[in-house]
Amino acid sequence: MKKAKKLPKVVCMGGGTGLPVVLQSLKNYPLDVTAIVTVADDGGSSGRLRSDFGLPPPGDLRNALVALSDADMMFKEVIQYRFKKGELKGHNVGNLMFAALNNITGNFKETVEVFSSFLNVRGKVLPLSQEKVTLVAETVNGCFVLGESKIPLNKEKIKRVFLEPKNVKPLEEVILALKNADFIIVGPGSLYTSVLPCLILQDVLFALKESRATKVYICNIMTQKGETEGFKASDHLKVIYKHLHFNPFDVVILNKKNDFYNSFLKFETIGQEFVYQDVENINKYFNLKIVLDDLVNLKIPLRHDVTKLGSLLFSFFK
């Protein structure tokens, strides 16, 4: 009897709106996908539930679970539904379900597992940690900004970010997934508030160093107000290097059609512009394979196109 072919183990790290795009792009390929999701969010519905019940914020986890879900479309729409008025205004149905499940199970990891079964998730979604953490930014002027939601509102340039408490432990499953991965994908996403919070735990750093996986960084298409204004592609990599004290990546993926899209898309009013892909600086400072491709979603130009990105990524895994 012929042995079943082993699927490539792909670990995706991040949060916000970037991670779900990557997960959607990979969902329908023959891969063993694990998502590692930041738990630093403290804004909106997630922040309120975190404050009221002491559970890690569920919003980014919910979005990752829905991205990998094979559930009925209507059920997924209900999970993502956000109330617009009344006492529940701003709350999301899925977040409320997370809070209820966590009160029942008393264990956040188990809550995520139960939610995964509800949504018939294809793959695995792991919170980075079960502990309550706070993301802190230190500015170049020596001020400290507490809370993920407040950091982009700060008008001073960010020097570094770190998590409090300093001894936060990631889930054991997170470390095992990183060590056993064939490919590790980081980004796209908010550099300081989604990407770095997943990377800066000491145990995660050790696991990244030990892992023999091919490590891929997907650079953002657009700069982000309050975080990466004026950043080139190399600046994103330099910030990660400065926080980790080593370059964890083998490959960087960049969008290549900047000039063309800039000719008819105007984002000045929201303080964003296309990230300039300064290949010459990346080659100067980093030993990386650079992949340039047209990855823009024409309907939502700030984001990557799911189909284009999936096709490109899967070409690495063959």
| 66 and 26 inside one domain | no
| 62 and 109 inside one domain | yes
pLDDT one digit per residue (tens) for the chain, 318 residues: 556 678 999 999 999 999 999 999 999 999 999 999 999 988 888 888 888 888 889 999 999 999 999 999 999 999 999 999 998 999 999 999 999 999 999 999 999 999 999 999 999 999 999 998 999 999 999 999 999 999 999 889 999 999 999 899 999 999 999 999 999 999 999 999 999 999 999 999 999 999 999 999 999 998 998 999 999 999 999 999 999 999 999 999 999 865 555 544 555 556 678 899 999 999 999 999 999 999 988 787 778 999 999 999 999 987
| Burial profile 266-297: b = 16 or more Cβ within 10 angstroms, e = fewer | ebeeeebbbbbbebebbeeebebeebeeebbb
C-alpha distances out from residue 63 to 3, 54, 79, 97, 115, Å: 35, 20, 9, 13, 12
Block residue for tokens 């600046």? 235
| 49 and 67 inside one domain | yes
Position 278 in a domain: yes
| 216 and 67 inside one domain | no
Total domains, the chain: 2
| 22 and 59 inside one domain | no
Write out the residue range of the structural domain in which residue 90 sits: 39-127
| 82 and 23 inside one domain | no
Position 247 in a domain: yes
Report pTM: 0.94
CATH number for the domain that contains residue 24: 3.40.50.10680
Position 133 in a domain: no
Position 227 in a domain: yes
| 27 and 52 inside one domain | no
